[in-house]
Structure 1
Amino acid sequence: MVEAIVTGFMGSGKTTIGKLLANGAHRRHLDLDDLIVQHASKTINQIFAEHGEAYFRALETELLSAALGQSGVLSTGGGTIGSEKNQQLLGKNEAPVIYLKTSFESIIERLNGDQTRPLVRKGTEALKDLYQRRRHYYEQSADLVIVTDDKSPEQIVNEIQQSIRL
């Protein structure tokens, strides 16, 4: 079973924080997006372009379920929390769910010019709408909420380590 789960909107730092947490606890880091890319042998952009978002989300749920049974710190994808099935999977798991709460302004600053994320290419207004829709799910699923604005990754990890045991 995973020991901690890191969630948050795209650009919130899930992978960076997940890796630092895992390293600090001498655990393996599992990145759900990387697991999807490895499984499909395609980039996320390719999966979206060739098969669509629904296919990607089904694959995400399948691999989330498998990842939750492994040992380590899991960083989810930004949209993982949007699925009711995924919310149930995360809720049944005993590992603490850590929500990296990041303001939309910080998200936009971090994602500026990033074309590797299919949903970013839809524009700022579409991204803001998505951010607003998902925010509730992150909060609802979280055991621990960490505000990331104006904090270094090390400060964020320190705050998490003071709140949970890994």
Structure 2
Amino acid sequence: MTREQSKKTLIYLAGFMGSGKSTIGPILANTLGYEFVDIDKWIEQKTSKRIVELFQTEGEQRFRALEREALQASTARDHCVVSLGGGSIANEENFQLIRLNGIVVYLQLAPEEILHRVQHRTDRPLLRDEEGNILPPEQLDARVRDLLERRSQFYERADIVVASDRKRVGSTVDEIVKRLRSFQKKEGA
């Protein structure tokens, strides 16, 4: 299937942890009259484990395999908004799968805003040390910036990039809807 033949009603929300994917996703889906799927929630339901627990007991490699399975399953959907995990598109194979099958919307945040949003979260395994302890502020800052730098090559290739720094959720959803309609019109969907 070529990109031109792909579904234009499958919307993938990408962005760093804390960018608002799980908050914006259901509202965007409701606004569009679409269903909503959260990849992390799909994995949690399939494994009966929280993501942080899955990382601790089975490791990141197992999590990424389940994530890939969820991404492949998502491609069978239509009229759906899919909230990706922060690192879901951080490899070329996943990125191409998503890009071929839908429209990728990147919720962009400045590193400082990401830090503000995630600094007190205990459910983010990549923001912990090897023993599972929450990172101190200076290490957290370095980890966020490192992950963001490694993922930016994928995020920036999204079909639509929307800054979500300190905006009201409704304003962000409105902007995404407007940009989606413009993109779909341009693509002939």
- Identify whether the pair has TM-score above 0.5, normalized to the shorter chain: yes
Query: Is this contact kept in 2: 1:6–1:98, CA < 8 A?
Result: yes
2:160 is aligned to 144
Percent identical across equivalent pairs? Answer: 41
Within 5 Å, which residues of 2 pair with 1:114-129? 114-122=121-129, 123=135, 124=140, 125-129=142-146
- Letter aligned with residue 143 of structure 1: D
RMSD: 1.4
Structure ID, larger Rg: 2
Q: How far apart in 1 are the matches of 2:22 and 2:75?
A: 16
Alpha-carbon distance between aligned partners in 2 of 1:136 and 1:154, rounded to the nearest angstrom: 28
Write the distance in 2 (CA, Å) between the matches of 1:28 and 1:66: 14
1:106 is aligned to 2:146: no
Provide runs of 4+ in structure 1 moved above 4 Å.
none
Q: After superposition, what is the alpha-carbon deviation per residue over 1:58-81, rounded to whole angstroms, capped at 9, x for unaligned?
A: 110011110121231101000101
Structure 1 residue ranges without an equivalent (≥5): none
Q: Is the 8 A contact 1:61 1:85 kept in 2?
A: no
Between the aligned partners of 2:143 and 2:75, the Cα distance in structure 1 is 30
| Deviation at residue 20 of structure 1 after TM alignment | 0.8
CA contact (8 A) 1:36 1:63 kept: yes
Q: Which of 151, 154, 169 is residue 153 of structure 1 equivalent to?
A: 169
- 1:135 equivalent to 2:142? Answer no
Give the corresponding residue for 1:78.
Answer: 86
What is the Cα deviation at residue 84 of structure 1? 2.1
Residue 30 of structure 1: SS of its match in structure 2?
strand
Unpaired stretches in structure 2, ≥5 consecutive residues? 1-6, 130-134, 185-189
Count of matched residue positions in the alignment of Structure 1 and Structure 2: 164
- How big is the shift at 1:150? 2.3
TM-score using structure 1 length: 0.93
User: Are residue 48 (structure 1) and residue 64 (structure 2) matched?
Assistant: no
Deviations 1:127-160 (A, max 9, x none): 22111111121112x0000011121111111101
